[in-house]
Amino acid sequence: MKFLDQARVYIRSGNGGAGCLSFRREKFIEFGGPDGGDGGRGGDVIVECVGGLNTLIDYRYQQHFKAKTGTHGMGQNRSGGKGADAILKVPAGTQIFDEEGEQLIADLTEIGQRVTLARGGNGGFGNAHFKTATNQAPRRVNPGQEGEERTIWLRLKLIADAGLVGLPNAGKSTFLSIVSAARPKIADYPFTTLHPQLGVVACDGREFVLADIPGLIEGAHDGVGLGDRFLGHVERCRVLLHLVDANTEHAGKAYKTVRRELEAYGEGLADKPEIVALSKIDSVDAETLKQQALRLKRAAKRTPLKISAATNVNVREALRAVLAEIDAADAQQEAAVAPAAEWAP
C-alpha cells in the first residue's frame, strides 16, 4: 500500500426533503383537510477516526463526498426519512484544515472520535403544517434547505512515542529494522526511505512506537531534497533519537545541519528532548571513531552514544535512554495536569 499523508477533499451535505402538498380524500369524509407531511433532513458529512489505517491513500482515488438528500414528505401525514450520512474514515493522527490550509478544524488522535463537518439541510414543511382556523385548505409547502459544501485538507501526522532524525544514510532504517518488526527499504544510497515508517519496539518488558522519516539535508526547509514536510510525523513524538553517521566527513557539522532544519521547521521540534548517537561505529577504525565522537560531543554539548545496529552494539542502551525520556515526558505531563484536576469542580 502506498503512503499518502495529505489529501484535498470536497464535501457536501444533503439537501432537506421537500414538504408534501396533499389533502385527505376518503369515502364518507366530506372535509378531509390537508395531510401533507414534512420532508426529511439531509444527511451530514462526518469524519471518523478508525483503527487499521495508517495512510490517506483512499482519498487519492476519491475526492468528492456527498451525503444523500432527505426523503420528501408524503400524504397521510407521513414525514420523509433522513438522508444517509457520508462518513470519511481516517487514521489516528489526522488533522482537518480549511481550504486555505491555515485554520485547524479538528485533530483526531483517538480511535472512535467523530466530527461533523457539514450538516444536512432541514426538511421543508408540508401543507398540514400551515393549517389554521382561517386557512383550512392551505396550498403552501416549503422546499427543503440546501446542504453545506466546503473543501477541506486532510493531513496525517503519525502518532509515535519517539522519532528518528538524521541525514540520509545515517542508519535510521537499519536501526528501526533491528529493534522492531518493521521492514523498511535499506540500501547504500541517499534517500532510500521515501516515506515515514513505524515500528513497535520492545525493551525491558515494555513497548513504544518508533517513527523513521526520510533524511534531511541542508536547505530541506526550502524544499531541497525531499524537503521537510515529513517532519510533521515526529511533531507528536516525546523524544527524538538523532543518529549521526560515523562515516560522514564531519560528525559535528552533520549534527548542526539537522538541528538547523529542525529549528527552521518550528512547531517545537527543536525543543524536544534529544538523544544523540554516533551510528555505524563498526565501519570506522578506532582513531576515526574517537575523533568523530569528540566532534559530535562539541557540537551537541553532550556525550553521544556509540551504536552499531549491524552488530547490535549499544542498541539496548539507546532504547533504554529513549524509554527514560518518554517516562520523564509522561511524568512532566501528569504533573501539569494534576493541579488543574485538583481545582476542577
Binding residue numbers for GTP? 166-173, 191-195, 212-215, 279-282, 308-310
The rounded distance, in Å, linking the Cα atoms of 252 and 275 is 15
Give the number of other CB atoms < 10 A from CB of residue 327: 13
Give the number of other CB atoms < 10 A from CB of residue 304: 23
Residues annotated within a binding site: 166-173, 191-195, 212-215, 279-282, 308-310
**Which strand ranges, in their side-by-side order, compose the sheet holding 114-118?**
86-90, 45-49, 114-118
CA 48 to chain centre: 12
Residues annotated within a binding site for Mg(2+): 173, 193
Task: Give the DSSP H or E segment for 289.
Answer: helix 286-300
The rounded distance, in Å, linking the Cα atoms of 231 and 282 is 29
The rounded distance, in Å, linking the Cα atoms of 172 and 238 is 18
- The radius of gyration of the chain's CA atoms, rounded to the nearest angstrom, is 29
Report residue 177 as a C-alpha cell: 529494522
Give the number of other CB atoms < 10 A from CB of residue 316: 13
Cβ(47)–Cβ(65) under 8 Å?
no
Which residues make Cβ contacts (< 8 Å) with residue 27, sequence separation at least 6?
none
